[in-house]
Structure 1
């Protein structure tokens, strides 16, 4: 039986077994950003049109693949995830595959990918197609076989299952000293609501305005994303010294991992507290308390940032960036890398 790929009209996946979010949650490849309501928020706040593709074999779903269509004048491009929205990865999610033997898995993966490419080409005809795969989607050969340029990328995972003491002992001396020797009464770290979100995004966006790189994230977008995922999923932390906010972070809790998503800008005032070290530690401790097994320190592709992040003794984990298009669209690729 062949694999059919169609655009889902609703999260209920009419005519198929299960729901969109059910497929995402059941697959180790699924992320919070793959969830239906999160995708709709991304669509609403971007210049893109969402095409939530579902592959099926009879009534059984075999994969989901959210694709965003961007049109600029006569040029159509396709992205998963779209640029500028702070989504580290998206791409295809395979489901109902873990009991398959290797030959059947490869056949299913290849047929789902090719059927998805055919749908995109038939309905969108993009000049450029860019995909960043989620962790766990490791067999990207169907992309290579269909003329995508594939590049390895890396992120950092920290094992929280070992507990606080073993985790702290595994870190560098510098990190241990910052965390152990900083008096708890020298700072406060609290979860905050709207006011905290406004502060943290203000600091993140100020870094962008100052030309120091990073993203500019609209407050309305992140607030809607928080509503879609839930306040216990997208957490806002604000760190204060002497009653004054000096740093903050947006952290995602879900899929058995804590994701250090956005934030921890350098304080804009001089403080004697290694505030970002204790802020990162607080996120890890909260993850341990919630029974989470992994902390994802988003991104391990920038050398000077890796030097800082590696002191927490993470493991480098690979994922893939895939792109296909004409040479004339190289500028799109460059802009994506700059503003994603």
Structure 2
């Protein structure tokens, strides 16, 4: 079995440093707590240009990400909370978290591997979502801040955890460089065959977190096909063209332009919550988002076969986040590079199998600039 690769890098390129003094960073003390006999902390990474990310080892979550606009003013563009206590509440959802062992859904929480049937935790209707009840998003990762720009996280997912086979050793390194890239590198090994599909679940708003609807954001996705879903948001196994449907983002358009179309797929997802089949192979541009008022541009670059576009359909007014801002309905979007949902049960989908002789490597690129 060959190596499985998944790449995430967040890259930023700006003509000016901007007004760093406006950054309202979260107090690291707000995250100091012992959970499951492990120390939780908040770590701040910063490069010479002022790009700043705050990351907690509770779920490996990106808590804040400060990016300048066309006037040089910084805003925090990811949803999150100001204390660890808020992340421990059900409303904490998956904001900014590392997702594993398997990002997205697995139908009925079951798969067969080498003639053995594995039953996973059911946590989304009758299905398994984002690795289970705790997954990787609600565990404490071992953390080592290697420098002002680099944080190393490690986690051992033991055999049988959430129903998955094998002891899976995972390392994730967040690294800021002076080219304004937040680079997220994953590696993993297993002692038994297992399935793996890691991702990063930041919720973005290029206006700034909690500062309005994302429906006016302009989106382009490099995909001529998508994987349709059923009423439980599980792929049907089919691959359909986006042409002449609301899922056609091959030319840039507002995220909300076709959101109210009479379309069964939009009804199933309560909006966009679908996997797109990316064009090409190797490292290439998967998507581009432009917010005209701020001038912020975000490109998604990956070598993954799929991209999940989620339009914040299940956010509601009960979500009150940083600076007491409300994270309401469709006030954030996610663009998650990935293998396809329910991949272990669809032999026609790209394989997510990891064998003991293989090593999993993973990266993606969220690249920010100003227009």
What TM-score do you get using the length of structure 1 for normalisation? 0.30
Larger radius of gyration: 1
